[in-house]
């Protein structure tokens, strides 16, 4: 993936925290991030072929790719991310042995047209430097009738006193720094959420790009939503 801030800066940030990324996620979400992925992937794979070809876009440490294989062991899974150290941390996991991981930019994916039955993307599209281009590229590699599941932190339509005023602004950066040792990474997260789209705005953009069906819903506890999109 590429990002709205200078790509080299954000890539470097993810590479710096790669060895501590999973631990920070589990602590900051109280483990709920695992459930978020399971819910999104279950909706993505429902009704697809028995052995789908799946792309995990912005794959990070491969939690999403591994979750796909656990739910559908016959799947063929590719994983793409622009942060080499994140992928390196992921491929060391025994469960990732069957994942084809590749360093790649979401704006110019190294895959041919219409090759994937499904694309899973967790906490990636918010970071795209050019969202429209990234979504068009995603659609290019998806076969007609294929599906996309997007799991993301969206900008809330209305400011929430606890989540936006306290947790995201103060608690998350403090705990993130304590766990990861990197202050900038967990200040970037709430800033990127505040600068992103609402769920409804992204749904509208996906429809403009020609996705036939777009449905989304909020996930517990707050600020996270899952979209399932059909090409």
pLDDT tier, 212 (very low <50, low <70, confident <90, very high otherwise): confident
The CA-CA-CA angle for residues 41, 42, 44, to 5°, reads 60
pLDDT(4) > 70:
no
Counts for the chain of helices (H) and strands (E), in that order: 9, 7
In tens, the pLDDT along 138-194 reads 999 999 999 999 999 898 877 766 666 666 666 667 776 777 777 777 788 888 888
pLDDT at 1: 37
Residue 50 lies in a domain: yes
CA atoms lying within 13 Å on the CB side of residue 214: 15
What's the CATH code of the domain at 32?
3.40.50.150
In tens, the pLDDT along 51-88 reads 999 999 999 999 999 999 999 999 999 999 999 999 99
Residue 56 lies in a domain: yes
Specify whether the backbone of 152 is left (phi greater than 0), alpha (psi in -120 to 50) or beta.
beta
Compute the mean pLDDT over every residue in the chain, rounded to the nearest whole number: 89
* Cis check: omega of the bond before 221, within 30 degrees of 0: yes
Find the DSSP H helices in 58-213. 63-71, 84-91, 131-141, 172-180, 183-194, 199-208
pLDDT at 2: 36
Residue 178 lies in a domain: no
In angstroms, the CA 198 to CA 175 distance is: 25
Cβ-based neighbour number of residue 141 at 10 Å: 20
pLDDT at 189: 80
In angstroms, the CA 36 to CA 113 distance is: 29
pLDDT(7) > 70:
no
Q: Is 43 helix (H, G, I), strand (E, B) or coil?
A: helix
In angstroms, the CA 84 to CA 13 distance is: 11
Q: Which of 214, 101, 66, 192 is closest to 184 using CA atoms?
A: 192
Q: Which residue has the higher pLDDT, 101 or 30?
A: 101
Residue 168 lies in a domain: no
If you compute the radius of gyration of the chain from its CA atoms, what whole number of angstroms results? 16
pLDDT at 70: 97
Count: domains in the chain: 1
Residue 175 lies in a domain: no
Residue 72 lies in a domain: yes
pLDDT, average across residues 22-48: 92
Residue 165 lies in a domain: no
Domain that holds residue 35: 7-155+197-230
pLDDT at 175: 72
pLDDT, average across residues 87-96: 98
pTM of the complete model: 0.90
Residue 59 lies in a domain: yes
pLDDT at 185: 75
**Sheet strands side by side (includes 213-219):** 100-103, 76-81, 53-57, 116-122, 142-153, 224-230, 213-219
């Amino acid at each position: 993936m590429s990002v709205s801030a200078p790509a080299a800066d954000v890539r470097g940030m993810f590479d710096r925290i790669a060895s501590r990324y999973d631990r920070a996620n589990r602590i900051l979400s109280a483990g709920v991030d695992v459930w978020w992925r399971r819910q999104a992937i279950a909706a993505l794979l429902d009704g697809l072929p028995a052995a789908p070809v799946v792309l995990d876009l912005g794959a990070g440490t491969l939690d999403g790719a591994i979750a796909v294989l656990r739910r559908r062991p016959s799947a063929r899974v590719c994983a793409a991310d622009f942060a080499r150290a994140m992928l390196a941390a992921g491929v060391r996991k025994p469960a990732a042995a069957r994942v084809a991981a590749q360093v790649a930019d979401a704006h110019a994916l190294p895959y041919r047209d219409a090759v994937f039955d499904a694309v899973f993307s967790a906490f990636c599209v918010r970071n795209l430097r050019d969202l429209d281009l990234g979504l068009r590229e995603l659609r290019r590699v998806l076969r007609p009738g294929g599906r996309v599941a997007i799991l993301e932190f969206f900008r809330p339509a209305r400011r929430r006193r606890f989540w936006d005023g306290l947790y995201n602004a103060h608690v998350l950066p403090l705990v993130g720094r304590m766990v990861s040792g990197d202050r900038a990474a967990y200040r970037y997260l709430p800033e990127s959420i505040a600068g992103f789209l609402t769920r409804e705005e992204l749904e509208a953009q996906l429809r403009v790009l020609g996705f036939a069906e777009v449905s989304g819903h909020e996930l517990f506890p707050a600020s996270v939503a899952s979209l399932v999109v059909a090409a």
